[in-house]
A and B are shown apart, each in its own frame.
Chain A
């Protein structure tokens, strides 16, 4: 595997379900990011982890809970979501949060909340 991978690629869940999105990077990077991409809106940065520590939470509702057990893996735990949370969730990584910060993205998870 190379680059940034995300699983699952597609997810349909009810509002009472609990699910998790997974991201893995094989680039030796130390920073990882979760973004939300909704129709007709710019990408929104949700969370940032730098050297496994959460450094940013951009006013994301608590029904989204990130986890970063090591620099290569990032999870997004989902519970009691709303239909407006349906979107493409993108994971990215970079060498570190500061510096050149060139970002590499995974293919995304298309989430539908019913």
Chain B
């Protein structure tokens, strides 16, 4: 059974620190992996998408990596700010056309 897991479910970090969010998946036949942020009661905002042929993508203070062999993706956030507080979700797009989301990591940046 395909699963996407995000651990921890919640994380608190002091402002200014660098941090890493984790996403693991059980099926290595992954096509793409997409990271999103979701603010309370809102929709999902796309952050980064990594295709299976890529190993990482960068946008501003965000860097996402993908390691198919180990079934892992990480989202690195540099110099965290209070405005980064949100829930971060990863979604795997698999070669059998399945789209599987993780439950998310709720991030709180402490001022």
* Bound CA span A40–B102, Å: 11
Residue on B with the closest CB to A43?
Answer: B101
Chain A residues within 8 Å of B46, by CB? 102-105
* Bound CA span A45–B98, Å: 9
Q: Which of B14-22, B31-39, B63-71, B77-85 contacts A (4 or more CB under 8 A)?
A: B31-39
Chain B residues within 8 Å of A52, by CB? none
Q: Which of B41, B42, B93 contacts A101 (CB 8 A)?
A: B93
Q: Determine if A45 and B49 form an interchain contact, defined as CB atoms under 8 angstroms apart.
A: no
Chain B residues within 8 Å of A98, by CB? 97
Main SS of the interface on chain B? strand
Chain B interface residue count, Cβ-Cβ cutoff 8 angstroms: 23
Is A100 an interface position by the 8 A CB rule?
yes
* Bound CA span A4–B97, Å: 22
Is B110 an interface position by the 8 A CB rule?
no
Chain A 86-106, CB within 8 Å of chain B: the 1/0 string? 001010100001101111111
Chain B residues within 8 Å of A102, by CB? 32, 34, 46, 49
Q: Determine if A97 and B97 form an interchain contact, defined as CB atoms under 8 angstroms apart.
A: yes
**Cβ < 8 Å to A, chain B residues 25-79:** 31-32, 34, 36, 41-46, 49, 51
Main SS of the interface on chain A? loop
Is B109 an interface position by the 8 A CB rule?
no
Residue on B with the closest CB to A106?
Answer: B43
Chain B residues within 8 Å of A43, by CB? 89, 91, 101
Contacts A41-B103, A105-B45, A107-B43 known; 7 new A-B pairs at CB < 8 A = A6-B43, A42-B101, A97-B97, A100-B32, A100-B51, A105-B36, A110-B41
Q: Can you list 11 A-B contacts with CB-CB less than 8 angstroms, sorted by A residue number? A: A4-B43, A6-B43, A43-B101, A90-B44, A100-B32, A100-B51, A101-B31, A102-B34, A102-B49, A105-B46, A108-B42
Q: Which 8 A-B pairs have the closest CB atoms?
A: A43-B101, A105-B44, A105-B43, A107-B43, A42-B101, A102-B49, A108-B43, A42-B103
